[in-house]
Amino acid sequence: MKKRISAASLPQRLLIYFSCIAIIMGLSLHVMTLSLMQWIEDEVNQHELEVSAPYAIQSFQQGAKQPLAIGLNATAYVSVDAIPKKYGPLNQYPLGFSSEINLTHTDQQSPDDPLSFFFYRSEFELNGKITPLYLTMPTENVELSDHEWLIINLLVLLLIVLLFIFFGIAINRISKRLISPVSQLNKQLKQLKPSEDSTAFSVSSESASEFSELTDSLNYYRQQNERMIKQEQAFARYASHELRTPLTVITGAAKLQEQDARPEFQARQRERITRAALEMQHTVDALLNLVKHERNHDQAVRKISLNEIEQILEPLHMIANRKQIRIRVTHAEFPTIQPSTAVLRMLLSNLITNAINASQSSEISIEITAGHIKVIDKGSGLLPKGQNHQGHELGLLIVKSLCQRYQWQFDLKNTQPQGCTATLTFPRSHTNNQPKS
């Protein structure tokens, strides 16, 4: 299996990669620089020799003798015999020739050291005759010496080394700066614990904006994941809590049927079983609706009816009567909503059951308008955090989850002088888009 490359090793790999490129480019630049300098040096000297020709011609026409010194370096001749033997037979070069000539021991007529010089050949009219013109310039007088070239080479190499070090440090820092946010996020992901806050991912403020956006996305998806986990946990606890009561009623009624065969007793137990089974069905439907993932706009809006409210309240009246609590319903106009009857039953049953549990006697009011439903009790009010009954906490968590799903607003607050008010507020888009009756 091919070994994967870690982000931490990328700066070193990038440094090696760019170092190789820098060495190749540096050496190429060094060779090109020296070659260019030599070419420029030759071109300048050849040009200097060529521009000296008019001066030499004018001097010879005015009677100057050969060899004619031009400046400090160039010498002009009009006869091959007057040219020093060390230069060899210069008349063999064509007319207009201009270049540097390098003579070895075998090329020289005099066995001196190897000779290098610039040579230019031309011709002019002298005393009515076409006369050749030879111009020479020893390179040792005009070109850089070997020592000077060595110093230039060292300076160029030093400059390349300094640039190599500078760019190496810069590339190393830039690559580390680019990789650092990735390493930070990877380290934070490995050390992440479920109990930590929802903004556990962070990068340096100096990081690129894309890394900040990535961090925000990771924190957002982590929040969403934690919310879904909490909802699943709440669903499991709530399902266990809500289904245990009707199962207990069904089990108890079935056992009681075995103990008493009277028809009226049997009918009463069957009614209890039917009512508990129906309550389980409503609870299961609501819980399934909670965990479904269909979009809200796929569900058609509908208008609540008084009969639907009465059916929801029917089993709750029995619980309220035991505590001598009366449930009163007032309605100005019934709202238009999306949730099914099972979902509405779960919402109202939770709120009304909590109101009954918080009250000893008196009355619970349910106010229904086109924009909201309020459940008002005169009980003990909200308990301090951490003192609520488990069923109460789970019920409110389910209510909040359902309200978020359907974009409702849920508000629970104490009222004066005593009691509590739970309010379900519906979106305006629903209240303004009621179906025609």
Could you list the mean pLDDT of each consecutive 10-residue stretch along the chain, which spans 437 residues? 60 76 81 85 86 89 88 87 85 88 62 76 88 88 77 84 82 75 74 60 70 78 77 70 78 84 85 80 70 56 89 84 88 87 84 84 89 89 57 68 85 86 83 49
* pLDDT score, position 355: 87
* pLDDT score, position 208: 65
We find that the CATH architecture of domain 296-431 is 2-Layer Sandwich (3.30)
Whole-number Å distance between alpha carbons of 274 and 276: 6
* pLDDT score, position 423: 93
Pick from 368, 291, 360, 300: nearest CA to 329: 368
Domain ranges of the chain: 8-46+146-179, 52-142, 209-286, 296-431
Summarised one tens digit per residue, pLDDT across range 126-169 is 888 899 999 998 888 777 777 887 888 888 888 888 888 887 78
Which residue is associated with the tokens 């009561």? 245
Whole-number Å distance between alpha carbons of 32 and 42: 15
| Fold type of domain 209-286 | Helix Hairpins (1.10.287)
* pLDDT score, position 402: 80
* pLDDT score, position 435: 45
